[in-house]
Structure 1
Amino acid sequence: MPTVELRKDEAIKIFGPAAINIASGAVEVLGKKFNTNDKFIVHKTRSYIVVALTDSKLDVNLGSEASIQAVEEDDPYHEWVSIANEILSKGYRRIMILGGVDYGKSSFSTLLSNKALDNNLDPALIDADVGQADIGPPGFISMSYPTQQVIWMRMLKPFKLRFIGDIKPQHHIGLIIDKLKELINTAEKDHRKPIIIDTDGWIGDSYALMYKYRLVEEVKPDATIVIGEEYWEFFDKLSLLGTNIYKVKAPRIRKQRSREERRALRSDKYREFLVDSQIIKVSLKNVLITNMPLFMGKPISLDSLNVSPLEKVLYAAKTPDKLYLVLSEPVKLQGFDELKTRFNVQKIRTLISGFEKNLYVAIVDKNGDEYPGQVLKIDFRNETIHVRSKYRVEPSIIRFSHIRLTEEYTENILE
């Protein structure tokens, strides 16, 4: 295990995976101080600048593909620290961070949160990235009330979760903004300050710019941090909305995650929130199921279908334009062709029992709090839904998504 010696104010950049022990002295990572005998881990998808606060010795255990590098002269880390200190000195309440994928948004958010705690403030940190969620599970936006400094947002526990039901924001802009404003309002009622909003990395096309403009317009941050020189010119006009724009450079040399690494990080988060869950059984009569038209239509008496073999039909429901049938197995029903006319619908949708297995859902309790869950099965004969979740709550609403999780907790996105 190599030992690295650092003079006071000297800095190095460590690319993971690596395990660090402070043999002597004191160092700082993203505003968090580590003293003699303290330890920290650099995940394989992460890199950190380590700044010596005193003359220090570090025992460094490097994993495969890990490395220690000198900090480039043009690295913006010290500028980040200066801007973070300036932002906190201004007393801003709402702070939004914008930037591209792997540009350092989460690291800057963590730095800002750590500095706020250093200043005896009570920050709220909102993770608004549904795809690469750090605080909560994928498909949610989440908020934490940090009480201790961390070097990775994934170390924080969520205080509130809000379900979006997708790992891409493109089709859910209005919902994300509404849920984000809910979390901000909660944080303000709880007298949290500053409220740090870490956004997703979708920024490189016209629709993304429209989304980010709308975010700033509706959330009304006091300060907006734009990370990445190539994006600065696109956000200058946002100052007309009254937000203070801070232009921040992205590190030129930084850890960039592959698609496989991103998928693995999401799988880890699904596991964190779903493994070793309890099973919750709820009567379909006692819970509202949304985002699934089958359960939003009017139930139809099976006898009124006049099809055979009728025993293969488990459930039927009608919406204004469709008739939904749940079958125990694939089968051709006699009388099927007459159903459109009889029930005055444009289409008939048939589902085979088991279609619901492993669908990713949110369980909403009577207070409106939302928690991750996974459907195990729906017993149509006994009209019960079986969901697993780590959270012991009585569901009043179950919100479905188009995400089906495999046994390895990877996603299959349904059409």
Structure 2
Amino acid sequence: GKTSLCTYLANRAALEGSKVGIIDADLGQSDVGPPTTIGLGQIREPVSDLTKAEVVDAYLVGYTSPGRALDKVLEGMKVIIERAEKLDVDVLIINTDGWVDGAEAADYKRRLVDIAKPDIILGIEREDELSDVLKTLNGKQVMHIDAPPTIKRRDREKRRLHRELSYRRYLEGAKVQSYPISWVKLQGCLPELGLPATEERVSIVSEALGFTPYHCEENPRHMLIILGKNQEITDEAVKKLEEALEKDVKVLRKGDERGVLVSLHGDDGRFLGIGVLRDIDFRRRIIRIYTPVEGKVSTICVGCVKLDEEGREVSFLGEETQEASDVKGEE
């Protein structure tokens, strides 16, 4: 009932003439902004649901639940709250996720509260399911609300379908766009790129591995090895190579990036929309993305969730055997 309550509160405030901001930090079931993001919206008049709010900005966390990316969520919350303050809203409503079980969830919620510094906290619960969380909020103004018996929890399948409909909505009108890697800043789950490795450095890699990878590129922090079809590399080989190169080694298989969800941002960092990675041509230094975003893109944030051609979640980047919703915090 969190979203229904937020919608009610936002509409009441709007009817009274208030300028209302909404932050949706429910990564897996977001209504303001695409799934895997913390969205910032604004409403000036009552809406039937929060998907009708004007999306002002969004921060890509890259996962559908906070359990794998706690620091990233907290960082994103700081960024979005700072941007919300610039909107000069009269009322700011923050919707969080439903992860409340256990000490880790309780500490996470406490840290969110420390960042948001809310005037009042509304806790919706069945029986005493928020007891662990509320123990960490001593000194805060908290109102307890019983969850309406008519509101049923979405099961995992319904949550997944809700996300897929949202992906499709945000990808409507998309087409494949090409971006020179040198023109954009890449951030997120993809290993940081560099410059193509010199022949001498490639020779060291080939000697250590016993074969020449599809591509190698290097930056001051690590060497990125791109494996081609049927090329394999063991953990032992990686350690040997790190000793030879005297720096960390990251490994990516060519084609692994296909289907990864990304967000695109303009010069001022503002969210422009989402897209789906088609491929990265490491040799020609081109990244191709299926996106409805047109015009200049300055930053591309790479997430971890992978989608198929129909917009269905299939896995995580680098973890092709695990479903994208199969992580803690997806409630």
For 2:286, the equivalent position in structure 1 comes to 384
Deviations 1:286-311 (A, max 9, x none): 22222356434453125642349x99
In terms of mean alpha carbon deviation, does 207-216 or 402-411 score higher?
402-411
Q: What is the TM-score when the length of structure 2 is the normalising length?
A: 0.82
CA contact (8 A) 2:202 2:212 kept: no
CA contact (8 A) 1:130 1:169 kept: yes
1 CA distance for matches of 2:4 and 2:196? 50
Q: 1:130 aligns with which of 27, 31, 35?
A: 27
For 1:330, the equivalent position in structure 2 comes to 230
Q: 1:327 to 1:227 in 2, by over 3 A?
A: closer
Deviation at 1:315, TM superposition (A): 2.5
2 CA distance for matches of 1:292 and 1:174? 14
For 2:83, the equivalent position in structure 1 comes to 186
In terms of mean alpha carbon deviation, does 390-399 or 374-383 score higher?
390-399
Deviations 1:15-48 (A, max 9, x none): xxxxxxxxxxxxxxxxxxxxxxxxxxxxxxxxxx
Q: 1:304 to 1:395 in 2, by over 3 A?
A: same
CA contact (8 A) 1:277 1:388 kept: yes
| Structure 2 letter corresponding to 1:353 | K
Q: 1:220 to 1:321 in 2, by over 3 A?
A: closer
| Structure 2 letter corresponding to 1:295 | E
Deviations 1:35-92 (A, max 9, x none): xxxxxxxxxxxxxxxxxxxxxxxxxxxxxxxxxxxxxxxxxxxxxxxxxxxxxxxxxx
For 1:175, the equivalent position in structure 2 comes to 72
After TM superposition, the structure 1 = structure 2 runs for residues 27-38 of structure 1, keeping only pairs within 5 Å, are none
Corresponding residue SS for 1:268: helix
For structure 1, which runs of at least 5 residues remain unmatched after alignment? 1-103
Q: What is the TM-score when the length of structure 1 is the normalising length?
A: 0.66
For 1:117, the equivalent position in structure 2 comes to 14
For 2:322, the equivalent position in structure 1 comes to none
Matched, 1:369 2:266: no
Deviations 1:310-335 (A, max 9, x none): 997542124678543224432489xx
Normalized per residue, which structure has more strand? Answer: 1
Deviations 1:238-296 (A, max 9, x none): 251xx421111111232322211111111001111123213332212222222356434
For 2:119, the equivalent position in structure 1 comes to 222
Deviation at 1:378, TM superposition (A): 1.3
Structure number with bigger Rg = 1
Aligned residues: 306
Q: 1:403 aligns with which of 305, 322, 327?
A: 305
2 CA distance for matches of 1:327 and 1:205? 40
2 CA distance for matches of 1:146 and 1:109? 12
1 CA distance for matches of 2:275 and 2:83? 23
For 1:155, the equivalent position in structure 2 comes to 52
Q: 1:315 aligns with which of 209, 212, 215?
A: 215
2 CA distance for matches of 1:368 and 1:174? 20
For 1:238, the equivalent position in structure 2 comes to 137
> Percent of aligned pairs with the same residue?
26
1 CA distance for matches of 2:101 and 2:232? 49
Deviation at 1:222, TM superposition (A): 0.3
For 1:257, the equivalent position in structure 2 comes to 154
After TM superposition, the structure 1 = structure 2 runs for residues 69-88 of structure 1, keeping only pairs within 5 Å, are none
CA contact (8 A) 1:377 1:385 kept: yes
CA contact (8 A) 2:275 2:290 kept: yes
For 1:273, the equivalent position in structure 2 comes to 170
2 CA distance for matches of 1:232 and 1:285? 48
Q: 1:353 aligns with which of 238, 244, 254?
A: 254
Deviation at 1:218, TM superposition (A): 2.1
Deviation at 1:401, TM superposition (A): 1.9
2 CA distance for matches of 1:314 and 1:295? 17
